[in-house]
Amino acid sequence: MNTVRIGLVGCGLFGESHMRAYQAVPGVEVTAVYDPAEEKAKEIAQTFGISRISSSLEDLCQDPAVEAVDVVAPKEKHLEPVLTALRAGKEVFVEKPFATDLSHCDQMIEAADAAGRILMVGQILRFETKYVLLQQDIQAKRLGKIASMHARRNRLRSLLERYDRTHPAMDSSIHDVDLMLWYTGERVRRVRGFGRRATGRTTTRSGESWNSKAERWAWWKPSGCCLTRPASAWTTPCRSSAIAAWATSASIRAA
- Contact footprint for ligand NAD (CB under 6 A): 9-15, 35-37, 40, 72-75, 77, 81, 95-96, 122, 124
Which of 7, 13, 9, 44 shows the shortest CA–CA distance to 171?
Answer: 13
Measured in whole angstroms, how far is the alpha carbon of residue 54 from the centre of its chain? 24
CB of 78 to ligand NAD, least distance (A): 7
Instruction: Return the bridge partners of 153, or none.
Output: 241
Which residue in the shown chain puts its C-beta closest to ligand NAD?
A: 12
CB 180 within 8 A of CB 222: yes
- Min dist CB 15 to ligand NAD, Å, is 5
Q: Helix, strand or coil for residue 186? A: coil
> Considering beta carbons, is residue 7 or 81 the nearer one to ligand NAD?
81
Question: What is the Cα–Cα distance from 71 to 253, expressed in whole angstroms?
Answer: 32
* Least CB distance to ligand NAD at residue 2 (A): 26
Q: Which is nearer to ligand NAD, 14 or 219 (CB)?
A: 14
Residue with smaller CB distance to ligand NAD, 12 or 193: 12
Do residues 249 and 167 lie in contact, with contact meaning Cβ atoms separated by under 8 Å? no
CB of 180 to ligand NAD, least distance (A): 17
Looking at the Cβ atoms of 7 and 221, the one nearer to ligand NAD is: 7
Nearest to 58 by CA among 36, 27, 30: 36
